[in-house]
């Protein structure tokens, strides 16, 4: 009997390692963890706007009437910031004059062609670039003019808190609205170089409801414009430089923003006509008046839609 028990124990001992080895071989391999999909360095921002008036630094560009615009901006993340180029367009209606060569013609639109580089370091962000304003089909009563001009810009911002951000901007042009062409027509050889600088502030309010949010923002700026060329006799010698401000509240829902904003300048009607180079006193005298504008905007990116 002892021999039988010992034989069974010996057999079990000899078989156990084999069974254990078989179990190890047959155990399923752990599932492979899928590698994260590579993030594309490319993206495209795009959007549109409808507004009760197209206001540019306190001056109406749409004859105090409604306007619309849209933009398209491809972007490339290069590791130390983002390179971008963009194309934007706005419906405009400029004042005209009965005394060429002064005043504006009536272009069909404003086309903005721009590009630059932007980056963020923690709470600080910086945006550097070039912006070309193109005004196609500038013809009025057979009179043509080229008002296209270029601006170099720098825009910085600092987030004091996640909800409160302040900023500073600077835009420089060697020849505002290509005024030198107009001034040369009356024997004044002078470019109208100009520098616009402003301070901004934005507070994202805690008033939220689901995807609904709101922010309050404002801007205070001054446009220093070389007034040497503006001394043409038919226009007057008033200094065209002026101060501009805006303040408003915006309500956001996902990619949609409803902006309600008050715009103002320190220009008188005469200052406004001189800035616009419009000599007729009954024309465009209210284009620089303080005004309230409502805008409905849509802004998103292809990455955000995925």
Question: pLDDT tens, 25-35?
Answer: 454 556 666 66
What SS3 state is found at 90? Answer: strand
Total of domains in the chain = 1
The whole model's pTM is what?
Answer: 0.82
d(CA 65, CA 110): 15
Q: What is the rounded (10 degree) CA torsion for 171, 172, 173, 179?
A: 80
**Token representation of residue 161:** 């808190």
Any domain includes 30? no
Instruction: For residue range 232-271, list pLDDT tens digits in order.
Output: 444 455 678 999 999 999 999 999 999 999 999 999 887 8
Any domain includes 74? yes
The answer to whether 294 and 253 are in contact (CB under 8 A) is no
d(CA 298, CA 71): 10
Size of the chain, expressed as the number of residues it contains: 306
* Structure confidence at residue 68 (pLDDT): 98
- Which CATH number goes with the domain that contains 276? 2.40.160.40
Considering the chain, what is the average pLDDT of its residues?
A: 83
**Range(s) of the domain holding residue 206:** 38-305
**Token representation of residue 67:** 């306007």
**Token representation of residue 146:** 């080229």
Q: Please calculate the CA angle 65-176-282 and round it to the nearest 5 degrees.
A: 45
Residues 6+ apart with CB under 8 A from 89: 69, 70, 71, 109, 110, 111, 112
Any domain includes 2? no
Residue 153 pairs with which residues in a beta bridge? 129, 171
* Structure confidence at residue 299 (pLDDT): 98
Q: Measuring CA to CA, which residue among 158, 216, 157, 227 is closest to residue 192?
A: 227
Any domain includes 29? no
The segments of the chain whose pLDDT lies below 50 read: 1-25, 27, 98-102, 231-235
* Structure confidence at residue 270 (pLDDT): 78
* Structure confidence at residue 75 (pLDDT): 98
Any domain includes 222? yes
Any domain includes 21? no
Any domain includes 92? yes
**Token representation of residue 256:** 């949609």
Instruction: For residue range 2-19, list pLDDT tens digits in order.
Output: 444 444 334 344 444 443
* Structure confidence at residue 234 (pLDDT): 45
* Structure confidence at residue 287 (pLDDT): 86
* Structure confidence at residue 18 (pLDDT): 43
Burial class (CB in 10 A: 0-12, 13-18, 19+), 10: exposed
Any domain includes 18? no
- Please give the DSSP secondary-structure letter assigned to residue 285: T
């Amino acid at each position: 009997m002892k021999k039988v028990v010992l034989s069974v124990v010996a057999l079990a001992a000899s078989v156990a390692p084999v069974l254990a080895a078989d179990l190890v071989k047959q155990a399923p391999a752990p599932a492979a963890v899928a590698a994260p999909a590579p993030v594309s360095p490319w993206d495209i921002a795009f959007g549109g706007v409808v507004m009760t008036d197209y206001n540019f630094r306190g001056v109406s560009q749409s004859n105090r009437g409604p306007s619309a615009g849209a933009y398209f901006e491809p972007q490339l993340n290069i590791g130390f910031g983002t390179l971008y180029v963009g194309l934007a367009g706005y419906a405009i209606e400029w004042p005209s004059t009965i005394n060429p060569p002064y005043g504006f013609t009536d272009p069909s639109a404003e086309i903005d062609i721009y590009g630059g580089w932007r980056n963020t370091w923690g709470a600080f962000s910086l945006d550097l670039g070039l912006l070309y304003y193109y005004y196609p089909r500038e013809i009025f009563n057979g009179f043509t003019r080229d008002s296209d001009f270029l601006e170099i810009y720098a825009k910085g911002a600092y987030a004091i808190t996640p909800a409160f951000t302040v900023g500073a901007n600077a835009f420089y042009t060697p020849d505002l609205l290509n005024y030198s062409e107009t001034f040369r027509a009356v024997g004044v050889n002078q470019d109208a170089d100009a520098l616009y600088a402003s301070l901004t502030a934005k507070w994202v309010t805690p008033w939220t409801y689901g995807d609904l949010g709101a922010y309050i923002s404002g801007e205070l700026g001054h446009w220093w414009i070389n007034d040497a060329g503006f001394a043409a006799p038919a226009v007057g010698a008033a200094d065209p430089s002026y101060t501009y401000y805006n303040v408003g509240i915006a309500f956001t829902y996902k990619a949609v923003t409803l902006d309600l904003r008050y715009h103002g300048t320190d220009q008188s009607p005469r200052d406004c006509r001189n800035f616009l180079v419009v000599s007729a006193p009954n024309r465009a005298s209210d284009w620089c008046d303080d005004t309230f504008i409502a805008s409905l905007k849509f802004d998103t990116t292809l990455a955000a839609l995925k």
